[in-house]
């Protein structure tokens, strides 16, 4: 069975899609009221974020667009020090989409939301003409515990930068799928709540966090350097990258520093907390390959000490980071 | 030799001033990423050569590609590097914004399945590159022929490196030695370098792409030159480069292509430096001959000097002042392996 324009008509086909696909996997006391909007309890500071997901192919090694859509927004909230609580999702489905594939993706969203401890409390579906693709937007709300203040503005020179694991897995996985290259590279798509829980639970004064998504580590660190008014010094030999991704990048002329990730983060922590914070990060499943990769310094921009002892200025990503000709 | 000894030698080198050219764009990129320039003595200068295929492709070629992409029932298929290269009628990227059909490829062979799925569309492959990529395009046309696929054409801008090296040896006297391209040499082997070495009395060394391999190559050239050895060809990438090269690749290239003159942006026409579809494969050519017109480089742009190593990118008055990766004025800034793009 495939999605047709009738599934977006608001009539019987829409109702069937709601009950047989979305209703089958999305359940909670708020959503089940089936009203025009979710009514939520909130007090104190909240973090609010939104993200849209258009990845192709929609299913890849290590995840799918559904899992990605939950993890992406959950991670954005976590990076603000929030405890993610509620998600709203909007689906744009193209005519011709296989309903079995949609069901797999919806199930995957429900699983990821459940694991992250968030409730999907609102949603919408539209159908458009197309070639069987789908796009998902998720928005999320998280509660910021009393006294917690995580922001790029807090970064001070001397702070140590922790990276939660290997760079480039998601980007290399997606490119491999698009190029028909058979390898063992899996997307790192994951919610990073286990890491933030470990850090805050361990009493670390986390200054700033950022998930290392599009644009890669190079771009993210430049953004943080600019926002904080500090410079950043990296040590290339400390940056974890799997040999598979290294080889993949070398063949295609890509730079792991600019490869997208979907389950990696950087945290800036005071120097005196760094050792403990790194140990805590490593106790989390998603942080087992974590490393201290550099520090904030006086100045501006991002500079990396290379493996050979040279220096390299790390700029933001320009353009799309496309595979080269030779 | 141990790496730290190589680094010590290159750091403290105090012999005659040396200017070494890394011919290949991938070497340029690796040198920049690993900060090799910062390790070398000021007496050893590395300069980038013409080994970025995108940077040496003339404007008329880009215009031909744009023309195809705007034709009804045609789709242009290209590697990403070509998207921002300026022709007289703009870039492929800008044309795409105007509704041109341009699809990015990761491998030329994707075009076969596209063409089989969409029989109504003529797929025009922008086949740009050196000996590294030429065999893949040869295999592509062979498969197209075998499968009797009627809706694939190639517009080629395929070039060979040895004639360009000869041009540089002839015209640029200040270069003391060459770091030869690893990927190209995998295909060609040592052939070509020996003749140049003998004729021009300059050393050639083939290097791999790891920073350590490049350092070993710079050491080999610098040590040799400082000890009066100017006429040797060394293969320092033996794990991949055989003396005779890749015979199968050479055979398939010989079967599908013939040599012809080619226009190198910033340099000019170089005799017999191009590869063109020939014989029974000529029918798949989408008009690759005579694409020689080049844009007059904009006032101030010194891509021509950068490509042959006369100046470093930051000596160009446009560098960072009106010419950036977002808005490249010259082709050297447009490609990720273009010297200016890497230098940024």
Nearest to B81 among A304, A307, A325 (CB): A325
Would you say residue A57 lies in a domain?
A: yes
Tokens of A118: 């968030």
d(C-alpha A169, C-alpha A240), whole Å = 11
B215 touches chain A (CB under 8 A): yes
Res B25 pLDDT > 90: no
Would you say residue A321 lies in a domain?
A: no
**Rounded mean pLDDT of B125-142?**
96
- Residue given tokens 């750091």 in the structure block: B11
B84 touches chain A (CB under 8 A): yes
- Residue given tokens 């010094």 in the structure block: A233
pLDDT band at B320 (very low <50, low <70, confident <90, very high): confident
Contact A71, A112 (CB under 8 A): yes
Tokens of B343: 């230098």
d(C-alpha B217, C-alpha B213), whole Å = 6
- Adjacent-strand bridge partners of A91: A125, A136
pLDDT band at B230 (very low <50, low <70, confident <90, very high): confident
Q: Note every long-range contact of B95-103, with CB atoms under 8 Å and residues 24 or more positions apart, other chains counting.
A: B95/B66, B95/B69, B95/B70, B96/B69, B98/B70, B99/B70, B100/B66, B100/B69, B100/B70, B100/B76, B101/B69, B101/B74, B101/B75, B101/B76, B102/B69, B102/B75, B102/B76, B102/B77, B102/B78, B103/B75, B103/B76, B103/B77, B103/B78
Min Cα separation A236/chain B (Å): 9
The residues near B306 (Cβ < 8 Å, ≥ 6 apart) are: B48, B266, B312, B313, B316, B330, B332, B339, B340
Same domain? For A97 and A179 the reply is no
d(C-alpha B93, C-alpha B83), whole Å = 5
Is A326's CB within 8 Å of B129's CB? Answer: yes
Whole-prediction pTM:
0.84
d(C-alpha B31, C-alpha A48), whole Å = 43
Residue B296 per-residue DSSP state: P
Nearest to A323 among B80, B209, B211 (CB): B80
Positive/negative CA dihedral, B285, B287, B289, B294: negative
Boundary (domain end) residue, out of A96, A120, A143: A143
d(C-alpha A41, C-alpha A85), whole Å = 11
Counting the structural domains of chain A, the total is 2
Is B132's CB within 8 Å of A179's CB? Answer: no
d(C-alpha B333, C-alpha B344), whole Å = 9
Lowest mean per-residue pLDDT among A158-162, B58-62, B194-198, B308-312:
B308-312
B344 touches chain A (CB under 8 A): yes
Per the document, the length of chain B is: 344
What is the number of other CB atoms lying within 10 angstroms of the CB of residue A40?
A: 13
**B contacts of A253 (beta carbons < 8 Å):** 26, 29, 336-337
Same domain? For A40 and A139 the reply is yes
d(C-alpha B10, C-alpha B84), whole Å = 37
Same domain? For A255 and A302 the reply is yes
Same domain? For A177 and A309 the reply is yes
Same domain? For A164 and A306 the reply is yes
Tokens of A106: 């919806």
Q: What is the pLDDT of residues B242-290, one digit of tens each?
A: 999 999 999 999 999 999 999 998 788 999 999 999 999 999 999 998 8
d(C-alpha A172, C-alpha A89), whole Å = 27
- Tell me the mean pLDDT per 10 residues along chain A, length 326: 89 89 90 88 91 93 95 97 97 95 97 96 93 95 95 96 97 88 92 97 96 95 96 97 92 88 97 97 96 96 93 83 52
Boundary (domain end) residue, out of A107, A125, A143: A143
Same domain? For A235 and A170 the reply is yes
Q: Which B residues, 85 through 124, put their C-beta within 8 Å of a C-beta on chain A?
A: 104, 106-107, 110
Rg, C-alpha atoms of chain B: 20
Q: What is the pLDDT of residues B72-114, one digit of tens each?
A: 999 999 988 888 888 888 899 999 999 999 998 888 999 999 9
Q: Which domains does chain B have, with CATH numbers?
A: 1-344 (3.40.50.11740)
Phi and psi at residue A300, to the nearest 5°: -150, 165
Same domain? For A202 and A126 the reply is no
Indicate which CATH number applies to the domain containing A296.
Answer: 3.90.650.10
**A contacts of B39 (beta carbons < 8 Å):** 308-310
Would you say residue A214 lies in a domain?
A: yes
Predicted pLDDT of residue A325: 47
Tokens of A19: 């009950």
Is A318's CB within 8 Å of B344's CB? Answer: yes
Please, what is the average pLDDT of chain B? 91
Is A323's CB within 8 Å of B212's CB? Answer: no
Is A324's CB within 8 Å of B335's CB? Answer: yes
Would you say residue A322 lies in a domain?
A: no
ipTM (interface pTM): 0.76
What is the number of other CB atoms lying within 10 angstroms of the CB of residue A55?
A: 21
The residues near B175 (Cβ < 8 Å, ≥ 6 apart) are: B19, B20, B21, B47, B168, B169, B202, B309
Predicted pLDDT of residue B229: 83
Same domain? For A162 and A254 the reply is yes
Q: What is the pLDDT of residues B325-343, one digit of tens each?
A: 877 877 788 776 678 887 7
Boundary (domain end) residue, out of A143, A178, A198: A143
d(C-alpha A199, C-alpha A286), whole Å = 13
- Give, in order, the Cα–Cα distances in Å from B168 to each of A130, A293, B22, B187: 52, 42, 12, 21
Predicted pLDDT of residue B257: 98
Same domain? For A124 and A160 the reply is no
Which of A258, A167, A50, A324 is closest to B52 using CA atoms? A324
Task: Residue A260: give the domain boundaries.
Answer: 152-314
Same domain? For A137 and A104 the reply is yes
Would you say residue A299 lies in a domain?
A: yes
Contact A150, A208 (CB under 8 A): yes
Same domain? For A126 and A53 the reply is yes
Indicate which CATH number applies to the domain containing A121.
Answer: 3.30.1330.10
Would you say residue A319 lies in a domain?
A: no
Contact A18, A117 (CB under 8 A): no
Q: Which residue of B has its CA nearest to A321?
A: B336
Tokens of B271: 């005799």
A→B interface, C-beta within 8 Å? 175, 178-180, 250, 252-253, 255, 304-312, 315, 318-326
Tokens of B266: 């910033």
Same domain? For A157 and A306 the reply is yes
Burial category of A109 from C-beta neighbours within 10 Å (exposed 0-12, middle 13-18, buried 19 and up): buried
């Amino acid at each position: 069975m495939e999605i047709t324009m009738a599934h977006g008509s608001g009539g019987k086909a829409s109702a069937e899609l709601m009950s047989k696909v979305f209703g089958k996997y999305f359940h909670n006391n708020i959503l089940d009221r089936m009203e025009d909007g979710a009514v939520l309890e909130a007090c104190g500071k909240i973090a609010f974020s939104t993200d849209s997901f258009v990845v192709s192919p929609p299913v890849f090694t290590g995840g799918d667009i559904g899992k990605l859509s939950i993890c992406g927004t959950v991670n954005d909230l976590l990076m603000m020090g929030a405890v993610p609580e509620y998600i709203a999702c909007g689906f744009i489905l193209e005519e011709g989409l296989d309903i079995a594939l949609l069901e797999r993706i919806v199930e995957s969203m429900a699983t990821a939301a459940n694991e992250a401890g968030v409730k999907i409390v609102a949603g919408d579906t539209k159908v458009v003409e197309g070639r069987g693709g789908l796009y998902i937007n998720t928005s999320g709300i998280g509660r910021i515990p009393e006294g917690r203040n995580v922001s790029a503005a807090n970064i001070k020179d001397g702070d140590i930068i922790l990276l939660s694991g290997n760079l480039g897995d998601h980007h290399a996985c997606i490119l491999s799928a698009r190029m028909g290259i058979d390898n063992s590279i899996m997307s790192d798509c994951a919610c990073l709540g286990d890491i933030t829980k470990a850090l805050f639970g361990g009493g670390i004064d986390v200054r700033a966090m950022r998930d290392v998504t599009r644009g890669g580590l190079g771009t993210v660190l430049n953004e943080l350097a600019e926002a904080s008014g500090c410079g950043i010094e990296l040590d290339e030999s400390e940056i974890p990258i799997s040999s598979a991704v290294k080889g993949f990048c070398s063949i295609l002329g890509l730079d792991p520093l600019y490869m997208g990730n979907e389950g990696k983060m950087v945290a800036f922590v005071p120097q005196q907390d760094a050792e403990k914070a790194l140990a805590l990060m490593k106790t989390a499943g998603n942080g087992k390959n974590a490393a201290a990769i550099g520090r904030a310094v006086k100045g501006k921009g991002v500079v990396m000490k290379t493996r050979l002892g040279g220096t390299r200025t790390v700029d933001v990503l320009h353009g799309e980071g496309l595979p080269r000709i030779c | 030799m141990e790496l730290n000894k190589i680094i010590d030698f290159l750091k403290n080198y105090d012999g005659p001033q040396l200017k070494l050219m890394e011919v290949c764009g991938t070497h340029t990129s690796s040198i920049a990423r690993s900060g090799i320039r910062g390790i070398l003595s000021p007496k050893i200068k590395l300069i980038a050569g013409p080994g970025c295929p995108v940077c040496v492709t003339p404007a008329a070629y880009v215009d031909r590609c744009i023309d195809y992409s705007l034709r009804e029932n045609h789709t242009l298929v290209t590697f990403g590097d070509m998207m921002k290269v300026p022709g007289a009628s703009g870039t492929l990227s800008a044309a795409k914004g105007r509704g041109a059909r341009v699809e990015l490829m990761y491998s030329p062979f994707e075009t076969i399945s596209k063409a089989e799925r969409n029989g109504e569309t003529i797929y025009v492959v922008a086949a740009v590159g050196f000996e590294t990529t030429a065999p893949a395009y040869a295999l592509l046309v062979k498969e197209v022929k075998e499968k009797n696929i009627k809706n694939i054409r190639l517009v080629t801008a395929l070039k060979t490196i040895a004639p360009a090296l000869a041009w540089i040896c002839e015209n640029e006297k200040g270069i003391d030695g060459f770091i030869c391209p690893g990927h190209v040499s995998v295909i060609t082997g040592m052939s070509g370098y020996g003749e140049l070495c003998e004729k021009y009395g300059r050393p050639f060394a083939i290097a791999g792409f790891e920073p350590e391999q490049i350092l070993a190559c710079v050491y080999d050239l610098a040590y040799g030159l400082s000890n009066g050895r100017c006429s040797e060809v060394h293969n320092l990438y033996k794990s991949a480069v055989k003396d005779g090269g890749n015979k199968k690749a050479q055979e398939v290239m010989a079967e599908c292509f013939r040599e012809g003159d080619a226009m190198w942006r910033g340099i000019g026409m170089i005799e017999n430096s191009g590869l063109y579809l020939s014989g029974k494969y000529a029918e798949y050519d989408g008009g690759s001959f005579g694409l020689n017109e080049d844009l007059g480089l904009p006032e101030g742009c010194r891509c021509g000097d950068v490509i042959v190593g006369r100046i470093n990118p930051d000596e160009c008055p446009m560098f960072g002042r009106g010419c950036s990766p977002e808005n490249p004025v010259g082709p050297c800034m447009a490609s990720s392996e273009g010297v200016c793009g890497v230098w940024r």
